[in-house]
Amino acid sequence: METRRLGDTDLDLSVIGLGTWVFGGRWGGTDDDDSAAAVHAALDAGVNWIDTADIYGQGRAERVVGRVLRERGADGVHVATKGGVAWELGDGGLRIWREARGDYLRMALERSLIALGTDHVDLYQVHWPVPGVPPADTMGALADLRDEGKIRWIGVSNYDRAEMDAAYRARPFSSYQPGYHMFRRQVEDAELPWCADHGVGVIAYGPLAHGLFTGKMDEATTFAADDWRAASEFFTDGAYPERVAATRELAAIARGAGRVGGIAELAVMWVLRRPEVTSAIVGARDAAQARANAALAAAPLTGDERAAVDAVLARHPDIARPYGHGEPPVREEAPQ
């Protein structure tokens, strides 16, 4: 599989990375053995890096990744995890909130290292920006952890341009992880150009639009109560039928171009068309999905394909509305 260098790091990442949010649940249920099989299959198929986070199942996803690394060894595998979402399990159930203070991130990283069964990670990213927490506190802690050898490279996720600018002034970082797909292009206006100007690599999550670009959904698709998509405007607002219609048009473009992976292949290669993007993160529930996702790394989009996609998006402007995808609340709304 093709690799690309991540920003100013020495990490050459496969253009498809394995996403593990599904391992922690919130996607309608999951099985740890299936999750472990997905990791093995992805690595066997040429994927060389794994994206995870402590909040995915409150350590569950990280433990699955750690299990696989013990089973096969970690040589040649780059592990990226994220911290910055705290949680509390009480009588009212699970509560989560954003937390990016330096002392918290130090604790969170130590917990992640235990779950992963390692003494360091290749990349550690702040999962969400937290208003009111000084960037110097957040980024200074990560720089200290890097100096201690517990993190090789640092980055941020879900920040906007102003937030990245403030964080970068506090301490330069190497990666940015935004949500990015054909119906979610907001980062093209400011964040991707900022990354290009600062030499920051981009690892994009959600290239398949949370499953819509698998081509398996229609207007009647529903989700289980424990699936975050059941409450997301992306799948429930008045524009959802139009998103499905536009997806069918995009699938026709993929068929016409002879793309074996169909619209999923088109969607991944559309994200990878941007020179700022190092890799597209694609989640997998089991080994079969992981193998299929690895095969989506294919030929670059042609000029005709790009023009055809642009025409579809221009015909359906309402499909690009901002939407929620399980964002944690800020600290002021959290338990104290």
Positive/negative CA dihedral, 64, 81, 69, 16: positive
What is the β-pairing status of strands 3-5 and 12-14? antiparallel
Cβ atoms of residues 333 and 244 within 8 Å:
no
Give me the half-sphere count of Cα atoms (radius 13 Å) on the Cβ side of residue 215. Answer: 15
Which helix (H) or strand (E) covers residue 83, if one does?
strand 78-83
Cβ atoms of residues 108 and 54 within 8 Å:
yes
Taking each helix axis from N to C end, the angle separating 60-72 and 102-116, rounded to the nearest 10 degrees, works out to: 40
Query: Considering only CA atoms, which of 162, 190, 181, 195 is closest in space to residue 273?
Result: 181
The Cα 234–Cα 213 span in angstroms is 13
Which ranges in 150-302 belong to alpha helices (H)? 161-170, 191-198, 233-236, 240-256, 262-272, 287-294
Backbone angles phi, psi at 309, to 5 degrees: -65, -45
**CA distance from start to end of the chain:** 47
Please, which residues have CB within 8 angstroms of residue 112's CB and are 6 or more apart in sequence?
54, 59, 62, 81, 83, 121
DSSP conformational letter for 214: G
Residue with tokens 């609340």: 329
User: Can 56 be counted among the known catalytic residues?
Assistant: yes
**What are the residue numbers of the active site?**
56
